[in-house]
Amino acid sequence: MTLDALINEYAAKNPASRKAYEKACNDIPGGISANVKYFAPFPLFMKEGHGAWLTDVDSHSYVDYVLSYGPLILGHGRTEILTSIEQYFAEHGTMLYGTPHELEDIFARKIKEHFPGIEMLRYTNSGTEATLLCIRTACAFTGKYKIAKFEGHYHGGFNEVLVSVNPDVTKAGDARHPIGLPESAGISDRMLNDTVVLPFNDLEACTEILTKQQDEIAAVIMEPVFGGTIPATPEFMQGIRDITKKLGILMIIDEVKTGFRVTLGGAQEYYHVAPDLTALGKVIGAGFPVGIVGGRRDILSMASPKGSDILDSSNISASAAEVLYHSGTYNGHPMILNAGLKTIEILEQEFDALLARTERLKSGIRELYAKHGIHVLTPGLGSMFNVVVTELDAIETYRDLQKSDFETRKKMDYALLLNGIYNKPCNRYNMSTAHTDDVIDFTLEAYEKAFRLL
């Protein structure tokens, strides 16, 4: 079947989702609350989730490999999480204090047990907020105001990092010296000039670029596993750590995707590299909105209020400009930290089995493609990976990924949607503890059916 024929069959099979989408378009721009949730001709609207499964408004059931783009590492509605939330309300009577509470420090100590680069931390409400605060912190600490990011890497939806996330390589310049391209309307030339784009896994080129601008660049921010798909080589990761130290540039590891997915201590534990700052999100909150900025004690101490509160009109004695401002009513939300702590406790017991089942699924997918004469790679680390249709033996950069056969991958994803497997076309696979062997069996059988359909 052609891709158009598959999309038409998908649309015909999901009339209730189409209707819900068309209604939503009257009230919500594009009918969706986040651009990433859209795919053509309309996204599925879900109504239930249990374990590894989702059910849509047309009452079709799917094995869920999106898992809300990563955070549901225990699957949907894990009993222990639901019970912990019920018990929390029964014992404490409220969902929010608006004051400090002891669980903030208990959770912080649990995070520090696992992440070697975190000596102190502050809570945020999302991974995007965490990366934003990392960048502000780096600028405050160094007194420099440019940042460097890598071509293809995503760090949230704010101006400084909406640069060269998915650039047109015909316009992005030389692979070793990428040109920064805007990824949204509303990005000024000043923002583009203040964001330096680096080539991933090319230490020599990165060293050259960073050395030339060392007096202007506050920090290098990176996804250690780009897009949850392409890992940094160990040599590259250690090399970036060494060169940033040498040049007085801070190293920020964005562990929003990789935290508790690569290892329980994230990619920094896997690579044995301690960054200056770490951004966390997604997995640590059991599906609730949460993020963390962690890092060196001397850097994070800048956020100590020192009697300064810019929202206290009676307090004009302290200089706000001397303090790294960070605040938020929902930071350190007690109910979320309670659920997050339970999530970590479960993962400490079940993580190895999750990794083993991830490897089984990856192997099964590769074997099925090979059986049909198609070469694929399943790059990634830990409990997330991608399926890349390519003639290459390995992919190490954004531009390597752009050489893959997206058409075949997209056809397979629509065929899988028709056979009970939910993944946004061309998205990575996220695994959970709920993806048991019988779920993997179902998935591989759906692949066989999808190949027959194609």
Residues 113 and 195 in one domain: yes
How far is C-alpha 325 from the chain's CA centre? 25
Residues 258 and 385 in one domain: no
Q: What is the DSSP string of 180-249?
A: P-BSSTT--HHHHHTEEEE-TT-HHHHHHHHHHTTTTEEEEEE-SEETTTEEPPHHHHHHHHHHHHHHT-
Give CA separation, 199 vs 113, 157, 303, in Å.
32, 21, 32
Q: How far apart are CA 77 and CA 275, in angstroms?
A: 34
Let me know if residue 405 belongs to a domain.
yes
Residues 323 and 293 in one domain: yes
Residues with pLDDT less than 50, the chain: none
Residues 306 and 185 in one domain: yes
Q: Please count the structural domains in the chain.
A: 2
Which helix (DSSP H) or strand (DSSP E) does residue 278 occupy?
strand 277-281
Residues 244 and 164 in one domain: yes
Q: Are 423 and 344 in contact (CB under 8 A)?
A: no
**What pTM was computed for the model?**
0.95
Q: For residue 52, what is the DSSP state?
A: T
Residues 257 and 362 in one domain: no
User: In this structure, what CATH number is given to the domain that contains residue 229?
Assistant: 3.40.640.10
Q: Are 250 and 221 in contact (CB under 8 A)?
A: no
Q: Mind listing the pLDDT tens digit for each residue in 193-216?
A: 999 999 999 999 999 999 999 999
Helix (H, G, I), strand (E, B) or coil at 311: coil
Q: Mind listing the pLDDT tens digit for each residue in 343-378?
A: 999 999 999 999 999 999 999 999 999 999 999 999
Give CA separation, 379 vs 194, 383, 399, in Å.
32, 11, 15
Q: What confidence score (pLDDT) does residue 276 get?
A: 98
Which residue carries 């598959």 as its tokens? 6
Q: Which residues are catalytic, by number?
A: 154, 254, 282
Residues 138 and 223 in one domain: yes
Residues 121 and 268 in one domain: yes
> ∠442-447-453 over CA atoms, to 5°?
125
Let me know if residue 338 belongs to a domain.
no
Helix (H, G, I), strand (E, B) or coil at 20: helix
- Of 271, 304, 332, the residue that ends a domain is 332
Q: End-to-end alpha-carbon separation of the chain, Å?
A: 5
Residues 187 and 305 in one domain: yes
Let me know if residue 294 belongs to a domain.
yes
Residues 426 and 285 in one domain: no
User: In this structure, what CATH number is given to the domain that contains residue 355?
Assistant: 3.90.1150.10
Let me know if residue 90 belongs to a domain.
no
Let me know if residue 140 belongs to a domain.
yes
Q: How many Cβ atoms from other residues are within 10 Å of residue 123's Cβ?
A: 26
Domain span at 420:
3-77+345-453
Residues 164 and 256 in one domain: yes
Q: What confidence score (pLDDT) does residue 312 get?
A: 60
- For 245, left (φ over 0), alpha (ψ -120 to 50), or beta? alpha
Let me know if residue 92 belongs to a domain.
no
- Of 291, 311, 332, the residue that ends a domain is 332
Q: Decide the pairing of beta strands 250-254 and 384-385.
A: unpaired
Let me know if residue 85 belongs to a domain.
no
Residues 28 and 105 in one domain: no
Which residue carries 């699957």 as its tokens? 75
Let me know if residue 88 belongs to a domain.
no
Q: How far apart are CA 331 and CA 307, in angstroms?
A: 19
Q: Are 426 and 413 in contact (CB under 8 A)?
A: yes
Is the peptide bond preceding residue 41 cis, with omega within 30 degrees of 0? Answer: yes
Q: What confidence score (pLDDT) does residue 319 get?
A: 63
Q: How far apart are CA 77 and CA 64, in angstroms?
A: 13
- For 103, left (φ over 0), alpha (ψ -120 to 50), or beta? alpha
- Of 332, 358, 386, the residue that ends a domain is 332
Q: Are 125 and 157 in contact (CB under 8 A)?
A: no
